[in-house]
Each structure stands twice: as structure tokens, then as C-alpha cells.
């Protein structure tokens, strides 16, 4: 049986001195992780992020806890098959995660988009003349998210728009999120 941390990884921030109000993993990201893992069994009872910030936090915790399937399933469906799950898993395992800081959440960019500016902290190992020291560094990013409605069951979910995925999409094609809008007027503005 896998052991999980008491404090949720998304609640730890080197930039903040206070962790007294931090949520436990079981009360924060675990329900989202567990729900998506069991999605094939019963799709009607799923727990999905209600905002781009919540999805960002669950994705960060998934990286820390090495849950590459969650990372893939919370990326825009049109991009999921283009992701390298083994590379995601390796990167998650090899990174010495140190915390998350949400810099800004911009929840309403048009009808269905949002952005989250964040810093994901990690420890780098640098050799000095005396020993191997760990220095905390930050990966600073502005990520884009899109809210997609499945027309078959009216299920609405937030997804990460991965700008690193190579896709051949023209600006005048229908958008990759399925909105019906042209790509250039929808997700093309954010990736």
C-alpha cells in the first residue's frame, strides 16, 4: 500500500512562512487523483476541478507523487495521445520538488479560458568545494487552461493546454478544444 504525505504537496510553499492552515492530502488533491483513476468505472460520480487554479494544484501534486496518468488525463484530450507518459514519469521522479506558489489566477479570459501564473520550486544539486549543497530554484510559468463541455453528457471540465505539444493546426480550423470556434479565436490565443 502506497503511503502519502500528510500535508498536500500543493500546500507547501518555500515562499510562505505559514503552513499552519495547510490542508492534508486526503482533504485536498487526493479525491481528484482517486476520482480520475477510477473514472472508467463510473463517470457520473467524478470529482473534477472547479477552477483552473484547483486543476493546477492537483497537477502539481500529481507530479510530486508521480501520477503521470493524472497529468495526461487533465491535459486537453486532443493533446493526450501526443504526450510521452514515460518522459512525464521520469521527470516527476527525477525532480526534487520543494513546493508551489500560485502567483496569480486569472479565472475569466473569454468564455472558457483561464491562466494560472505559478512557481514550482525544486531543489537543485550543486557541487561546491566543500560538499554537495541543495539550492531551491523555481520554475516560473504562465499556464493556460480551457473549460470543455462534453455535449453527449453535458459534463464540463477544466483541462491544461500544453504549449509544448507539437500539433499541426491552422488558424482557421475548428479549435482543438471542440468549442466550434476557429482555433485562432479560441485556444490559439493561449498556446
The pLDDT tens digits for 117-149 are: 999 999 876 554 444 456 888 999 999 999 998
Beta-bridge partners for 145 = 114, 160
Task: Return the C-alpha cell found at 118.
Answer: 505559478
Residue 74 lies in a domain: yes
Share the mean pLDDT of the chain. 86
Which domain covers residue 84, as residue numbers?
9-161
Q: How far is CA 43 from the centre of its chain?
A: 20
Please give the pLDDT value at position 2.
Answer: 55
* CATH number, domain with residue 40: 3.10.450.50
Residue 98 lies in a domain: yes
64 has a pLDDT exceeding 60: yes
Residue 176 lies in a domain: no
Report the number of distinct structural domains present in the chain.
1
Please give the pLDDT value at position 125.
Answer: 63
41 has a pLDDT exceeding 50: no
Residue 190 lies in a domain: no
Please give the pLDDT value at position 146.
Answer: 97
The residue-averaged pLDDT of 47-59 equals 95
Environment class of 123 (CB within 10 Å of its CB; exposed 0-12, middle 13-18, buried 19+): middle
The residue-averaged pLDDT of 104-125 equals 92
Amino acid at each position: 500500500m502506497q503511503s502519502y504525505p500528510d500535508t498536500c504537496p500543493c500546500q507547501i510553499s518555500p515562499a510562505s512562512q505559514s503552513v499552519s492552515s495547510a490542508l492534508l492530502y486526503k482533504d485536498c488533491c487526493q479525491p481528484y487523483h482517486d476520482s480520475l483513476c477510477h473514472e472508467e468505472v463510473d463517470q457520473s460520480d467524478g470529482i473534477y476541478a472547479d477552477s483552473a487554479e484547483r486543476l493546477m494544484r492537483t497537477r502539481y501534486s500529481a507530479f510530486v507523487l508521480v501520477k503521470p496518468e493524472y497529468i495526461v488525463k487533465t491535459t486537453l484530450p486532443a493533446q493526450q495521445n501526443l504526450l510521452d507518459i514515460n518522459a512525464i514519469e521520469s521527470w516527476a521522479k527525477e525532480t526534487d520538488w520543494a513546493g508551489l506558489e500560485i502567483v496569480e489566477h486569472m479565472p475569466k479570459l473569454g468564455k472558457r479560458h483561464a491562466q494560472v501564473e505559478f512557481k514550482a520550486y525544486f531543489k537543485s544539486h550543486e557541487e561546491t568545494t566543500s560538499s554537495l549543497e541543495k539550492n531551491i530554484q523555481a520554475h516560473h510559468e504562465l499556464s493556460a487552461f480551457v473549460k470543455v463541455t462534453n455535449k453527449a453528457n453535458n459534463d464540463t471540465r477544466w483541462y491544461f493546454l500544453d504549449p509544448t505539444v507539437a500539433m499541426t493546426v491552422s488558424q482557421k480550423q475548428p479549435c482543438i478544444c471542440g468549442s466550434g470556434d476557429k482555433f485562432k479565436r479560441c485556444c490559439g490565443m493561449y498556446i
